[in-house]
Amino acid sequence: MTPWAWLLDTGQCVGCGVCADVCDSTAIIMTRAMPLPEPVVGNCTGCLDCVRECPTGAIVVRPEAA
């Protein structure tokens, strides 16, 4: 199984939290106290739901670097 990672363009992210809401693998965490979402390392499955739902196109998913 390929390990995946999601990358956030902090210049494009508006901190809406949609990515964390749609992530079924809990690879993205965001609370009201957080200005931007943060990764949970090792949880991304590469499903691309966050990429499809991000209103600003601030997320890229790619194979995790070894």
Burial of 52 (0-12, 13-18, 19+ CB in 10 A): exposed
Instruction: Calculate the alpha carbon distances from 63 to 14, 29, 38, 42, 48 in Å.
Output: 24, 19, 17, 11, 12
pTM over 0.85: yes
- Look at residue 65 in the predicted model and tell me its pLDDT: 74
Which tens digits make up the pLDDT trace of 21-39?
999 999 999 999 999 999 9
Q: Where are the domains of the chain?
A: 4-63
H-type alpha helices, the chain? 18-22, 49-53
CATH 3.30.1330.10 fits 4-63, yes or no: no
| Closest by CA position to 37, among listed 53, 55, 21 | 21
H-type alpha helices, 3-66? 18-22, 49-53
- Look at residue 27 in the predicted model and tell me its pLDDT: 94
